[in-house]
């Protein structure tokens, strides 16, 4: 296909199973971005890709075209003393890794311009968590964003209108045309936005399990491998980890509650748990990808030292203050983060060990409480959610509840209690715990 071909002819070619060359894909993405392609044509293109797929060359070309459809951040003029790094997760429940990993990497010498999203379905969104902090602005001006990345080493904000505009339109059409679940479209959407941030290293956290977008290990491995290969071929050294989401990553789910958990970990109040282990593993891979250390072992030593010294917590505090939040959030979180008026322990109907958790159902319980959006643009109650969530294999009884429900009303707490009991199966059988990290896929830039 040539660049001069009509859009409908390019769509026809993909519909009929032909590979599109780089020029054709660039032309189509430019038409999506500037409006030359109608919504009908964008939908037809998405369906053609959904049905016929794309080969590796096409997926790389689509990713780069989406990346280049708007501003690509250039950090060269800031003379940064360390590499520009970032992470992305496919989402989960109790997954507040970004809140901890960004400041932690900054404390180790990296620079993290993290452009994050809001909650989607049963999964929580990083921006929604941060907006539980009074005054925190997820849409600062460009000068503030760049200054914080340079001086603090980390700034977590929302996507700007200038970053990967083609993806914003393509995703909106995919959402209403049943074409979301397409590997090339998923990969190019994730990476188009991330690589527009001018990254030198990326770590991808692909979740698998009952609370994950990818419920099977084979599907998660295919996505992780494709992301690592496409990002590396597009010029960014990338590692993908497949991590477990058969139970919430942290014992809390809900926006303000998860900010509390991040502060507990960063401040040293908590020094164990799945959240710390997964974050530490992702951060170690990112330090190696950014060549801040020469081995995973050296990365772990550096990470442990910066967490113990308080340097990671200090970066988080400076980021929050620099984006309009309170200067004493780490010292006085209870004075700033909202709390639900009703807090109730929910107990199992019988004592025993937690045999299985429908993690997606737990996430939807938080949404039903008001902690997520049932419709686009709906308001969120930052205070509601779940805490002290019991883990797989943990014994629950009259002293140890399944979880604490944080609700806006007694009726909401009753509803959440019923959902919680349905989502967590309790029995007497031995439980084999799944590994936290199922696989690691590393790719170098060709």
Query: 180 with 174: CB under 8 angstroms?
Result: yes
State the DSSP code for 435: P
> What distance in Å separates the CA atoms of residue 154 and residue 60, rounded to the nearest whole number?
28
Report d(CA 20, CA 1) in Å as an integer: 6
Structure tokens at 413: 């707490």
388 Ramachandran zone, left/alpha/beta (phi>0; psi -120 to 50): left
Going from the C-alpha of 163 to that of each of 77, 142, 300, 356, the distances in angstroms are 19, 12, 33, 41
* Partner residues linked to 207 by β-bridges: 243
Q: What are the C-alpha distances in Å from 367 to residues 192, 253, 418?
A: 28, 10, 14
Active site residues: 86-89, 126, 174, 189, 193-194
Pairwise CA distance, residues 137 & 160, whole Å: 13
Neighbours of 442 (CB within 10 A): 15
Pairing label, strands 342-346, 154-158: unpaired
DSSP conformational letter for 70: S
């Amino acid at each position: 296909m040539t660049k001069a071909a009509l859009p409908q002819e390019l769509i026809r070619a993909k519909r009929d199973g032909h590979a599109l060359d780089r020029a054709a894909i660039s032309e189509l993405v430019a038409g999506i971005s500037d409006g030359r392609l109608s919504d009908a044509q964008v939908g037809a293109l998405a369906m053609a890709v959904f049905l016929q797929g794309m080969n590796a060359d096409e997926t790389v070309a689509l990713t780069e075209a989406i990346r280049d459809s708007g501003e690509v951040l250039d950090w060269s003029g800031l003379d940064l003393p360390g590499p520009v790094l970032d992470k992305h997760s496919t989402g989960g429940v109790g997954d507040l890794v970004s809140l901890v990993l960004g400041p932690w990497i900054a404390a180790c010498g990296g620079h993290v311009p993290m452009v994050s999203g809001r909650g989607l379905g049963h999964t929580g969104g990083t921006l929604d968590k941060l907006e539980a902090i009074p005054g925190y602005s997820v849409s600062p001006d460009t000068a503030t964003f760049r200054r914080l990345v340079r001086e603090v080493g980390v700034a977590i904000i929302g996507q700007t209108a200038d970053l990967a505009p083609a993806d914003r339109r393509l995703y909106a059409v995919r959402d209403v045309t049943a074409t979301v679940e397409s590997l090339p479209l998923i990969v190019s959407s994730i990476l188009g936005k991330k690589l527009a941030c001018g990254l030198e290293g990326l770590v991808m956290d692909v979740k698998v399990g009952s609370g994950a977008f990818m419920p099977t290990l084979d599907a998660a491995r295919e996505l992780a491998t494709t992301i690592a290969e496409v990002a590396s071929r597009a010029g960014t050294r990338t590692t993908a980890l497949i991590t477990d989401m058969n139970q919430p990553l942290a014992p809390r789910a809900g926006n303000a509650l998860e900010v509390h958990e991040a502060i507990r970990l960063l401040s040293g109040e908590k020094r164990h748990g799945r959240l710390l282990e997964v974050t530490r593993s992702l951060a170690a891979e990112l330090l190696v990808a950014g060549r801040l250390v020469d081995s995973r072992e050296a990365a772990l030593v550096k990470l442990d030292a910066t967490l113990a010294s308080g340097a990671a917590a200090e970066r988080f505090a400076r980021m929050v203050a620099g984006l309009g939040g309170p200067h004493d959030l780490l010292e006085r979180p209870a004075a700033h983060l909202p709390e639900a008026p009703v807090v109730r322990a929910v107990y199992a109907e019988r004592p025993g060990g937690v045999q299985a958790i429908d993690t997606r159902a737990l996430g939807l319980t938080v949404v039903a409480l008001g902690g997520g959006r049932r419709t686009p643009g709906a308001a969120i109650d930052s205070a509601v959610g779940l805490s002290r969530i019991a883990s797989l294999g943990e014994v629950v009884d009259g002293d140890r509840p399944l979880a604490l429900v944080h609700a806006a009303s007694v009726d909401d707490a009753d509803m959440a209690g019923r959902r919680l009991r349905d989502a967590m199966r309790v029995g007497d059988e031995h439980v084999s715990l799944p590994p936290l990290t199922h696989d690691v896929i590393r790719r170098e830039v060709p």
